[in-house]
Structure formats: C-alpha cells, structure tokens
Amino acid sequence: MRSILFILMVGISARAVVAELPTGGHIVNIVEWDGAQLPPVYERSDQLPLSEAEILALKDGGFSADQLATLVTERRYTGDVSAAGLIRLRTLGIEDPVITAVSRHGLPPNRSIDITVSLVFEGEGSTVGRQRYLYAILPDGGTERILTADLSSVLRGHWADETRVDQTDLFLPKSVRTVRFTSRLPLKQPGSRKLAVLVSTRPDLQRIADIPDQEREAIRYHDLDYPASSLAQVCKLDLRFKRDTVLPDQWHLISTRLECEWN
C-alpha cells in the first residue's frame, strides 16, 4: 500500500519524471491514463440476439435503418460478421448504419464446441473383438477433427463419469453401463457438415478416406449445421452398444444420436 501511495504522490507532483517510475507488472502509474476513456456501456435487452433472417424480415416489415441499428445495439447479432458476411448483408440491401451496428455488436465467432460423448453398453463383459476402435470424424474446412476410443480400454477401465443400472428382471436380465467423456473441441469453420460415426478394426485412421471399403456401409452420418456465432456451443453425441448374445466379444453399435444447442 505504501508503494502505491508513493507513486500517486510522485505522479501528481512531478509529471516530468513519469518515465522514471517503476511502471510494469502489478505497478501502474496512473498518469499514463491521461486522456483515456472507458468503453461505452450499452443498454442490452434480455431478448435473444437477432439473426440475419430476422434482420431481413424486419427490413421487409418496414423498419428503418436507424430502428434496425438500435435493435442490433440492444439485442446484439448472431451471424457472420466477417468481411464476406458484411458483403452479403450489403448485397441483400442492408444499409450502412445497420451493417456498422452488426459489425460492432455481433457475437464473437464460434471457434469450438463443448461436446459430451456418452457410450452406453447393454450387457456384461469387457472383452471386445477386432472391431473395437470407435471413431467420430467431423470435417472442419481442410481439417478433419477425429474423436476416437478403444472400446476394450473403455470397458475395462474405471471412469470419473460413469453409471451402472441393473435392469434385470426374471425373464430378461440386462445391465446397462454409461460412460461419458466431455471436453472442448476446436471447430473453426462455420457451415453445414456431416459427422461420421463408425467402429473399425483399424486403430490408425487419420481421415474419412482411410476407412476400409468393407466398413463404409456401416458409417452413420449426422448433419451438423455450425453457426458462425451463437450464445451456446454445446453438443451431445450418444452412442449405444449391445453385446451379441452368441459371440460374447462382439459389441454392436445399435444407435447413434447427435444433438446440438446454439441458443
């Protein structure tokens, strides 16, 4: 506290020696703030941000450019505010004040998704045959994001987020185990793409093109429409496996589901 007080006093009494003060790190000479201003504070609405489609609908409904700019300022904008996105708005007839507001108040661009992969196993056992390598492959521009797991390791392991439910009855014994893995996955390119899910005999797949021909028919695809910006970036991938009643080391992928929440 003494050192801070000293800097304040010296700064006030001797502006000419500002450069000699120990400025840097956790020490701040406030005279360097001379002329600075805090960023403007905007009054925000509790309503959801406006999308490109809503901006166009409001424009067609008779809202003026100034009204639209005010609405964007209050509610923000979810859409592409890159150079290409702004050019698109211009070609759609959006006027300059609205484009300026969109550029200033657009939500930050999406760069990743928070994804939870849930593996549900119906049946007992921890042995898996040759077809045991799980893949979820998601294109991202010129890159393919690959999520993978060895099902044998998953079944034999003990995990932080797992549950077991005994659904056994007198006529149909069944145990269900669910293991969940959650993390943030980089995803930079907005737009539509297909998530490919499969179980392979190969542990070294690097891209979709590497999938053996005999395994391609078993690929399950899910559409993912990734927005340029959004309030939320949360996806859930649920995969359900069932143990073969005849071959105990065979686990069949019986269902897959992808759900994403953006707003």
Cα 262 to chain centroid, rounded: 9
Alpha helices per DSSP H over the chain: 2-13, 52-60, 65-75, 83-91, 96-105, 151-156, 213-216
Whether the per-residue pLDDT at 247 is higher than 80: the answer is: yes
The predicted pLDDT at position 35 comes to 72
In angstroms, the CA 152 to CA 242 distance is 14
Structural contact between residues 95 and 72, judged by C-beta atoms closer than 8 angstroms: no
The predicted pLDDT at position 172 comes to 56
Whether the per-residue pLDDT at 16 is higher than 70: the answer is: no
Whether the per-residue pLDDT at 167 is higher than 70: the answer is: no
pLDDT category, 128, cuts 50, 70, 90?
confident
Query: Considering the entire predicted model, what is its pTM?
Result: 0.74
Structural contact between residues 178 and 162, judged by C-beta atoms closer than 8 angstroms: yes
Give the count of beta carbons closer than 10 Å to the beta carbon of residue 230.
Answer: 22
| Percent of the chain with pLDDT strictly greater than 70 | 83
Whether the per-residue pLDDT at 36 is higher than 90: the answer is: no
Give the count of beta carbons closer than 10 Å to the beta carbon of residue 96.
Answer: 10
Beta bridge partners of 253: 241
- The region, left, alpha or beta by phi > 0 then psi within -120 to 50, assigned to residue 213 is alpha
Whether the per-residue pLDDT at 127 is higher than 90: the answer is: no
pLDDT higher at 42 or 163: 163
Mean pLDDT of 151-171: 82
Stretch among 15-24, 31-40, 158-167, 237-246 having the lowest mean pLDDT: 15-24
Is residue 81 classed as helix, strand or coil in its secondary structure? coil
Mean pLDDT of 186-205: 94
Written as six digits, the tokens of 141 are 């521009």
Structural contact between residues 51 and 76, judged by C-beta atoms closer than 8 angstroms: no
Structural contact between residues 249 and 220, judged by C-beta atoms closer than 8 angstroms: no
Q: What is the mean pLDDT of the chain?
A: 85
Stretch among 76-80, 117-121, 124-128, 226-230 having the lowest mean pLDDT: 124-128
The predicted pLDDT at position 13 comes to 43
Cβ-Cβ contacts under 8 Å for 177 (sequence gap 6 or more): 120, 121, 162, 163, 164, 165
pLDDT higher at 169 or 194: 194
Whether the per-residue pLDDT at 186 is higher than 90: the answer is: yes
pLDDT higher at 46 or 227: 227
DSSP codes, 176-187 = EEEEEEEEEEE-
pLDDT category, 166, cuts 50, 70, 90?
confident
In angstroms, the CA 75 to CA 69 distance is 10
pLDDT category, 2, cuts 50, 70, 90?
very low
The predicted pLDDT at position 170 comes to 55
The predicted pLDDT at position 31 comes to 61
Strands of the sheet containing 112-122, edge to edge, are 162-166, 175-186, 112-122, 234-243, 251-261
- Condensed to tens digits (0 to 9), the pLDDT of residues 39-61 reads 776 667 778 899 999 999 999 99
